[in-house]
Chain A
Amino acid sequence: MSKAGLLLKRTIPTLAGTVAAALLLAGCGGATVNQAAAAGASGTPCGTVNVALNAWVGYTANAAVYSYIAQNKLGCTVVQKDLSEQISWQGFGSGEVDVILENWGHEDLAKQYITDQKVAVDAGPTGNEGHIGWYVPPWMVQKYPDILDSKNLNKYASLLATSESGGKGQVLDGDPAFVTNDEALVKNLGLDYKVVFSGSEAALIQSFRSAEKNKTPLLGYFYEPQWFLSEVPLKKVSLPAYTPGCDADAEKVACDYPDYKLNKVMAKKFADSGSPAAKLLKAFSWTNADQNSVATDIQGGMKPDAAAKKWVDAHPDVVAAWLK
């Protein structure tokens, strides 16, 4: 048929082009820029480290500094992969992920991947201390100083009511990935509040930002260390003090969140490989202030790599101790 013939005729030049391009790629590649680069970059002692990049700026700060040192002081090739927390852990078994740089609790994942499947190991604390809790924007504390005590919260329930909270006060929760006992807390502390889920960290931060700017009331879940606190210094509401075991039964929690010692996790294979990057990971430890300074730089528009360089150059002793 002539139509099929036409189709063929039209395909031929396309095919010919593709084939010619392929030949060109394979054949006359004598001195391309890529191959020159490949010749220069080979033979690093460290190899490749796959770093999971979870979704908050504090984590990015850790990852930036770790990657910067591994790349520039140890000569490793660092591959950063944007992943959610849950998915990052999946990567340990398959070799897709070697390093998680800031882990918040996640006992279920630790049990599954460290204890049961034995594909990951704890790489020690990051030195950062995590606090989770309920926070209010600073203007509210100035106007209603006693709001920082959870006993007084019911007094402000009507102030904090929104169209989402069904007549009760609103406690705004963030990303579903966050560790939270807030529904149980509201019930067990007898608070006239409803937990409303904002659905993402971006939504939570934007809500606090608008609340401070427009002086609208807001009570919400937040955590530190977090870059946003250097933009708007939220104030933490004190819930009944944490005592060990008071959060054992998720249904009956009536106390504040514990202080989290954040830690690093690495793939078992990577830990056993004897890579200098694995040693660096175990030694890596710094303070909340360190992390916040790097995170604030990144948030201010600096490239993570440049922010890391700035911090590393300013703290040669700490870095030297890590590399010992």
Chain B
Amino acid sequence: MSTLVRDRAPVQTGLVSVRAPRKRLSRRTLLLAGAGVVWLVGFLFLHGTATLTLPASELTDLHRSLNQFNAWVASNRADNPVFQYVFTPLRAAVDAVANLFIGIFAASSTGLRLPEIGWLGTVALLSWIAFAVGNARVALLTAAVFVFFGLQGLFTEAAYTFALVLTAVLFTLALGIPLGVLAGVYGRVAKVITPVLDFMQTLPTFVYLAPLALIFLIGPASAVIATVIYAAPPVIRLTAHGIRCIPENTREASDSLGTTGWQRLVTLQLPLARRTIVMGINQSTMAALSMVTIAALIAAPGLGQVVIRALQSLDVGTAVNAGLSIVLLAIVLDRVTTAASRRAEPGANRKRRISRRMRYIVLAVSLLVVLAIVQLSRTMLWAAAFPKDLNIGPAIVSGVSSASEWLQTNLFIFTVSFREAVTNGILNPFQSLLTETPFYVLVAVIVVAAFALGGWKLAAVTASCLAVIIYLGLWSDAMVTLAGTLVATAVVMVLGVIFGVAMGRSNKMDQLMRPMLDAGQTMPAFVYLVPFLGLFGATRFTAIIAGIIYAAPVAIKITADGIAAISPTVMEAAVSSGSTPWQVITKVQLPMARQSLALAANQGLIYVLAMVVVGALVGAGGLGYDVVAGFVQSSLFGKGLAAGLAIVFLGILLDRMTQAAAANPVRKVPSAKSPAH
């Protein structure tokens, strides 16, 4: 999901660019080259010493003490005031809202477990809401997709998922918008909150799933709270961003009229930031939806359950059928919230075809029809439960199953030799370079590189991240994870450049690719793990492929946007001076989209890192495996927690280093006229 919406202050480059470029470059290059030499020498001569390996079943004292958390919660649940006055009421509130929506859309608590407003009522009501906040097109889409859920034989599951996502989004907004406003108005709040948000987004969800289930018990409440933790950061960041970005002169004009802070917020800042806030809602909704399969691990009902169960019995067809529903739900939610944000745009009213009055009349009339339909589906069984004989689900399931069977049978030889070549040729040497170099050599190398890229400050941040990872006792596993992450990111960048350039240069290509990219981002990874297992086996390579599928879309999109944003006059000038398409790409477009490429690499890395845990389910090992093991084995709980933290610190380290590298390029290139992001 596009959860890592960041709006950091632009990195200060002024200071560096004052110096003579040639001198600066040579010093940095020297430092980086020196670090490389130290690394190679350290690897060759101290090979295999001080590697800090820890076998999968062994623990450090830190891990053992973290294990106590479990017992502590169990013994304190009854009488600790934190539980009595905070956690238990919170759980009750979340549960109440979740059960309300589940009752309305999915299944009431009565014997037949039919939804209160029936499937027909649900379709009608949701389409009407889509029409009210968006337009007729998204309303039609909503109706079509929800009917299709029924045809897939998954209406109830989809309705459960929708109810839980709705609950999570409501709580996310109730928490996120006020926090975002605070962070937008007060810079100090933003400073405190930003690292917390980074933490919330990089900590693998598996890590806090088990503790949450322990504190909030199994059921919808824990699932919703886990989802809120994951989905809140985008709306907080974007709300704050929207409020902060209001033009200075508009603000001054308003201040000169003597408005108070509150008046300014309500009459100026919130209305002007409305579009950005709705974009935040969109991002948070997408993030919430991506938690569906993970939340199913703590018994959240819905489509996620179908996917997980299908994975357990290796039933690719069923998994794809349910995964398709998730993708479609994501498309509907995305289109509806996007349409809502267009409507929220200042001046959007003027472009309407029908008058506002006319629209209200249409809305009112259609509402009456909707209410009649709702009443109908409350009384007639055929409108309450989706007819079972209208079911194309089995056809989808068997079609996909035989396709995946065919692929696995016929491609196996190629895929295995490809896997062996990549693993033996690239991954294994690179991983042993990381895992078998003594840790002190590698720490020194990384810190020097950080210094070369970003000065003392970055070196200090990097050193402390590495120190934490060593303290957590998981150095070697972290290096295994780092190796896989870097290889995957390299591939992601290659794909990003190839497809990004193609999309940036051709509108047709863009339209062709977008839906596939959206599907790649929203299809739960659990769905495609099984066919990949068939093709590539339980190996690190399979995990890398899973990471690439998840991360490549974002890199491609960012690159395409960067290429498309280059001003047409520059392109025309290049073409008219006789450049071949290849020259235009390499000499004009790629250099000018440099900032986009850097951003794509940064986001690609973070996204790959987000898949580390899922990759561990198919043989990635490393930190991801420790996290999964901590989730399922109580004796490894502490180690799993430590591994989750190690992933966070690895993420911070990679993020800061790539940002610094992007801010000060090693090679001198023509400066980009248009800021890409």
Contacts and interface: CB of A to CB of B under 8 A. Distances in A.
Interface size class for chain B? 35 or more
Nearest to B616: A199
Contacts of B530: 202, 206
Given A175-B632, A202-B312, A33 B364 contact: no
Contacts of A35: 110
Interface stretch (B5-13, B29-37, B371-379): B371-379
A7 B267 CA distance: 11
Contacts, number: 220
Contacts of A3: 271, 346
A109 interface: yes
Given A37-B111, A87-B218, A163-B428, A205 B632 contact: no
A183 B56 contact: yes
B278 to A, nearest CB: 11
Interface in A76-103: 81-87, 90-91, 93-94, 96-97
Interface stretch (B183-191, B486-494, B534-542): B534-542
A91 B74 CA distance: 11
B523 to A, nearest CB: 17
A199 B620 contact: yes
A176 B633 contact: yes
A207 B538 contact: yes
Given A83-B297, A91-B217, A216-B416, 12 more contacts: A4-B271, A24-B375, A25-B117, A41-B111, A42-B111, A82-B309, A86-B633, A164-B539, A177-B632, A200-B617, A203-B533, A206-B537
Contacts of B288: none
A207 B110 CA distance: 44
14 contacts: A13-B360, A21-B371, A28-B375, A33-B378, A38-B111, A81-B299, A83-B297, A87-B297, A163-B428, A199-B628, A202-B530, A202-B617, A207-B538, A210-B537
Contacts of A298: 313
A37 B114 contact: yes
Interface in A183-218: 183-184, 195-207, 209-210, 213-214, 216
Nearest to A96: B218
Contacts of B346: 3
A172 B217 contact: no
B625 interface: yes
Given A86-B632, A163-B423, A163-B428, A94 B533 contact: no
Given A57-B313, A86-B631, A199 B617 contact: yes
B652 interface: no
A21 to B, nearest CB: 7
Q: Top 5 nearest A-B pairs by Cβ distance?
A: A41-B111, A176-B629, A37-B112, A198-B538, A38-B110
Interface in A53-92: 55-57, 81-87, 90-91
A202 B309 CA distance: 10
A14 B530 CA distance: 43
Nearest to A94: B217
A243 interface: no
Contacts of A29: 378
Nearest to B613: A199
Contacts of A55: 308, 312
A6 B274 CA distance: 12
B634 interface: yes
Nearest to A91: B218
B336 to A, nearest CB: 13
A233 interface: no
A45 interface: no
Interface in B79-128: 104, 108, 110-112, 114, 116-117, 125, 128
Nearest to B75: A117
Contacts of B620: 199
Contact of B110 (A34, A166, A200): A34
Interface in A2-30: 3-4, 6-7, 9-10, 13-14, 16-17, 20-21, 24-25, 28-29
B635 interface: yes
A289 interface: no
A176 B628 contact: yes
B374 A21 contact: yes
A41 B116 CA distance: 17
A86 B210 contact: yes
Interface string B255-283: 00000000000110001001000000000
Interface of B: 55-57, 70-71, 74, 77, 104, 108, 110-112, 114, 116-117, 125, 128-129, 132-133, 210, 213-214, 217-219, 266-267, 271, 274, 296-299, 305, 308-309, 311-314, 343, 346, 349, 356, 360, 363-364, 367, 370-371, 374-375, 378-381, 384, 408-409, 412, 416, 419-420, 423-424, 427-428, 529-530, 533-534, 537-541, 616-621, 624-625, 628-629, 631-636
Contacts of A97: 218
A20 B129 CA distance: 13
A34 B114 contact: yes
Contacts of B533: 202-203, 206-207, 210
A31 interface: yes
Contacts of B108: 34
Chain B CB within 10 A, most for which of A29, A94, A117: A94
B231 to A, nearest CB: 22
Contact of A204 (B313, B371, B538): B538
A314 interface: no
B301 to A, nearest CB: 9
A130 B110 CA distance: 39
A55 B297 CA distance: 10
A1 B621 CA distance: 58
Contacts of B540: 164
A176 B632 contact: yes
Interface of A: 1, 3-4, 6-7, 9-10, 13-14, 16-17, 20-21, 24-25, 28-29, 31-35, 37-38, 40-42, 55-57, 81-87, 90-91, 93-94, 96-97, 108-109, 112, 116-117, 162-164, 166, 172, 175-177, 180, 183-184, 195-207, 209-210, 213-214, 216, 250, 298-299
A96 B217 CA distance: 8
A33 B619 contact: no
Given A33-B114, A82-B296, A163-B424, A14 B634 contact: no
A81 B218 contact: yes
B534 A210 contact: yes
A197 B374 CA distance: 52
Contact of A1 (B267, B308, B419): B267
Contacts of B538: 172, 196, 198-199, 203-204, 206-207
B636 A41 contact: no
A121 B223 CA distance: 28
B617 A7 contact: no
Contacts of B427: 163
B618 A199 contact: yes
B545 to A, nearest CB: 13
A3 B347 CA distance: 10
A195 to B, nearest CB: 8
B633 A203 contact: no
Given A21-B125, A25-B116, A33 B271 contact: no
Contacts of B104: 25
Nearest to A37: B112
B218 A6 contact: no
A70 B360 CA distance: 54
Contacts of B420: 163
Contacts of A180: 57
A34 B109 CA distance: 9
A163 B420 CA distance: 6
A57 B314 CA distance: 11
A229 to B, nearest CB: 14
A20 B367 contact: yes
Contact of A13 (B112, B297, B364, B624): B364
A183 B56 CA distance: 8
A33 B110 CA distance: 10
Most chain B CB atoms below 10 A, which of A84, A199, A207: A199
A205 B116 CA distance: 41
